[in-house]
Structure 1
C-alpha cells in the first residue's frame, strides 16, 4: 500500500481533515481537531490509534505493527506495505475511536457515519 492510498482512505472518512502540523511533509489526519492517523515525512509507516494498550501490545508482539514513536502506548505504526485490507481496517477503526472520544457537540457538527 502506498502513502497515496493511505491518504485516500483517510480522506474518505466523514469530516476528516489533513494537515502538516510539524512541517516537512507529514500527513496528519484529524477528525474534530483530534489526530487519527499520521504518516511521517519519511513515510514508511502510518501510525494509528488502537482501542487499548493491550491491543497495541498484541499487534506489536505478533509483528503486525511497531511501537508508534512519540505517541501514547495505545498507538501503533503499521508498515505501508501491510495488507491493504488490514491497513484500511486499522485506519477506519482509529478514526471511529477518535471520533467517539469527541464531545457530543463536536460529533454532532460532523457529517454522519
Structure 2
C-alpha cells in the first residue's frame, strides 16, 4: 500500500479535510477540525486512533502496529505496507471514533455517513 492509496482512503471519508499544519510534507486528515489520520513527512506509517489504550497496546504487542509518535497512547502507527484491508479498516474506525466525539452541532454540519 502506498501513501497515495492511504490518502485516497482518508479522502473518501465524508467531510474529510486534508492539511499540512506543521509544513514539511505531512498528510494530516481531519473531520470537524479533529485529526483522524496522520502520515508523517517520512511517509512510512499512518497514525490512527483506536477505541482504547488496551486496543492500541494489543495491536502493538502483536506486531500489527507501533506506538504513534507524539500522539496519545490510544493512537497507533501502521506501516503503509500493511494489508490493505487492515489499513482501510483502521482508517475508517479512527474516522468514526473521532466523528462520534464531535459536538452535535459539528456532526450535523457534516455529510451523512
Structure 2 length as normaliser, TM-score?
Answer: 1.00
Shift of 1:45: 0.1
SS of 1:97's equivalent in the other structure is helix
Instruction: Tell me what 1:87 maps to.
Output: 87
Q: Distance in 2 between matches of 1:49 and 1:62?
A: 17
Shift of 1:110: 0.1
SS of 1:102's equivalent in the other structure is coil
Q: Distance in 2 between matches of 1:106 and 1:63?
A: 36
Instruction: Tell me what 1:110 maps to.
Output: 110
Instruction: Tell me what 2:57 maps to.
Output: 57
How many pairs are equivalent? Answer: 113
Q: Distance in 1 between matches of 2:88 and 2:2?
A: 12
Instruction: Tell me what 1:23 maps to.
Output: 23
Q: Distance in 2 between matches of 1:61 and 1:86?
A: 16
Give CA deviations for 1:1-49 in whole Å, capped at 9, x if unaligned: 0000000000000000000000000000000000000000010000000
Gaps of 5+ in 1: none
Structure 1 length as normaliser, TM-score?
Answer: 1.00
SS of 1:64's equivalent in the other structure is coil
Q: Distance in 1 between matches of 2:6 and 2:47?
A: 11
Gaps of 5+ in 2: none
